[in-house]
Structure 1
Amino acid sequence: MLPCFSLAGHCFPVADFICNYLVRLHVGAFPAAILSHDLLLTMFTPCANSKLKHKRDKKQTETQCWEEEEQENHGNKILEDPSLKGGLIKKTKLQECDESMGPEEDGTTMMGLAGIPVAPCYRGSKGGIYFVLQNASLVAAYVGKRYQILNPDEHANFLRRKNKNPYDYRPDIVHEALLQIMGSRLCMAGRVHGVFIKTDEGILIRVEPNTQIPKTLGSFCNMMAELLQKFSIKSKGNRGKLLRLIENPVTQHLPVNSRKIGLSVSSPKAVQINDYVAAANHDENLVFVVGAMAHGKIDAEYVDDLISVSALPLSAGTCLRRICVALERNQKIH
């Protein structure tokens, strides 16, 4: 009930009286149009003012609680535990990610070399694959005014003047071998962990599996000539070395639990490569040593097993293609 006062026997509401009084005084701060009963009761009735303040505080509290509940529901994911009857276990997304994608279970690392297509390299329970290209012909010499890798197509006359056989200098063999390895699905899946080149002059080169090998022989020879001069070739942005000269012997760069397998047509142990790969221990690293020369035999001193995959002589590229296909089938890489 609105408060009233009596004047000359008549009852007048307090709000109407004050409103008319302020209008007559021409109070600009409180025009008559906005001086409602609720505003006047709020101004002159302490009880009403307290109730409005309590109502406003209650609304702010409810809004704050609702925002906190929304944040909690957004940040946390409630998972039902089948081992508990009707129980709910709250796990944050970060904890769920750590448990389901931990390094021990997934074991995926990315090798970040700028400007080069990078494939994930899996370091899980399965062993990695390594390749050693033995006796590769990468002989560099100054021909004219440039430092070049000798090959029979461009330097046949130069080699004959030096009383050399032009067909002993075959950089195309190691070029084809690298294209077969880097272009295989095995390498794209990240299973190849390292490629080594041992030249016939005793130089040892390490090639990272994510290196993009030039398609043409001329570009490849220019890259290898630069490598022999500068001892390393970096990726775009200088974030890592793609090719580099390393110290001999190659065995110190191979993992301890590795099985070194040499391939030679003259080996008395002829095997079916698919069956041989399937029977290998998947927890140990496999190192395949393949000759990258026109003729001759590989160095079998550090090889654990010497096998032959064909009764006929095969080129290095064909031999490596058979190995990669057998490994892809065995590891179900499609």
Structure 2
Amino acid sequence: MLQKKDLSEGEEQHDSAVVELPGIPIAPCRQKSEPGVYFILDKASLVAAYVGKKYQILNPEEHASFLRKKNKNPYDFRPDIIHEALLQIMSSRLCMAGRLRAIFIRTDEGILIRVEPNTQIPKTLGSFCNMMVQLLQKFSIKATGNHGKIMRLIENPITKHLPINSCKIGLSSSSPKAVQLRDYVSAANHNENLVFVVGAMAHGKIDADYIDDLISVSSFSLSAGTCLRRICIALERNWNIE
């Protein structure tokens, strides 16, 4: 398991061995003053352990027997949820138009990860899990060519990494405040960045202690990928992204 320690020290120690991956071209923001969007994917399952002689991200497809021997429910370990969520965001027109500012992943173990908009997420779950293992071991991943870090571990709390002029919005099916997303984002302050907090776990609720508004976009429990797709479409329409 990853030991929590000074990340700056860890990054310096492993900087020369940082993994390099290709990034994707992102259109520059048309105006620097334009608001953007941040996503926080909360309570993601990215639990790493030695299985046999290999350090792996645990998932129910490959490690069910291992987890049952540890008296764990295999279906509490779902890296596929965060994988799908990241693919959904990165493939959106919102991201391609340069309005995505950053994605933050907060794992159920309390590890905080920053993902840059130009990160190319592997299409297969296996490749994605391999990338996450290397991130947890090396503390950051660089893009090929320009050597900029596209993923890195950062210090908690999440609020220190968010802009001051931002509205933090959590999604929960249990919230009494039901909204139509298109109307909701249209009514938002056009000078504020929007921060959407979406659960990336199979069961449970997001941490709402720093959230400004908790909304429901459906009376049913939706997957993280579905929630994010709805958010992206609503913002693309509101910001006239085609």
Aligned to 1:213: 121
Moved over 3 A (4+): none
Shift of 1:277: 0.6
| Corresponding letter in the other structure for 1:173 | I
1:260 has 2:165 as partner? no
By how many angstroms is 1:114 displaced? 8.7
| Equivalent residues in 2 for 1:154-173, closer than 5 Å | 154-173=62-81
Matched position secondary structure for 2:60: coil
Please name the residue that 1:236 is paired with.
Answer: 144
Whole-angstrom distance in 1 between the partners of 2:162 and 2:220: 30
RMSD in angstroms over aligned alpha carbons?
Answer: 1.3
Find the counterpart in structure 1 of residue 109 from structure 2: 201
- The corresponding residue for 1:278 is 186
Amino acid at match of 1:215: K
Q: Distance in 2 between matches of 1:114 and 1:135?
A: 25
TM-score when normalising by structure 1: 0.65
Give the superposition deviation at 1:199: 0.1
3-state SS of the aligned residue for 1:121?
coil
Aligned partners of 1:117, 1:139: CA distance in 2, in Å?
Answer: 27
Q: Please state whether the residue corresponding to 1:153 is helix, strand or coil.
A: helix
- Of 213, 216, 220, 1:308 maps to 216
- The size of the alignment, in residue pairs, is 222
- Distance change in 2, residues 1:312/1:187 (3 Å): same
**Aligned-partner residue type, residue 139 of structure 1:** V
Query: SS at 1:301's partner residue?
Result: coil
- Give the drift of 1:115: 4.1
Q: Which runs of 5+ in 1 are unaligned?
A: 1-112
The answer on 1:150 being equivalent to 2:46 is no
Q: What is the aligned partner in structure 2 of residue 184 from structure 1?
A: 92
Q: Does 1:121 align with 2:16?
A: no
Instruction: Please list the CA deviations of residues 242-281 of structure 1 after superposition, one character each: whole Å capped at 9, or x if unmatched.
Output: 1100000011000000000000000000000000010011
Bigger radius of gyration, 1 or 2? 1
Cα deviation for residue 308 of structure 1 reads: 0.3
Q: Distance in 2 between matches of 1:117 and 1:181?
A: 13
Deviation at 1:309, TM superposition (A): 0.3
Identity of aligned residues (%): 75
Aligned to 2:226, the other structure's residue is in SS state: helix
Gaps of 5+ in 2: 1-19
Deviations, residues 164-206 of structure 1 (Å, cap 9, x unaligned): 0000000000000000000000000000000000000000000
Q: Which has the higher contact order (CA 8 A, sep 6+)?
A: 2
Query: How many Å apart are 1:117 and its aligned residue?
Result: 2.2
8 Å contact from structure 1 (residues 114, 237) kept in 2: no
Amino acid across the alignment from 1:307? I
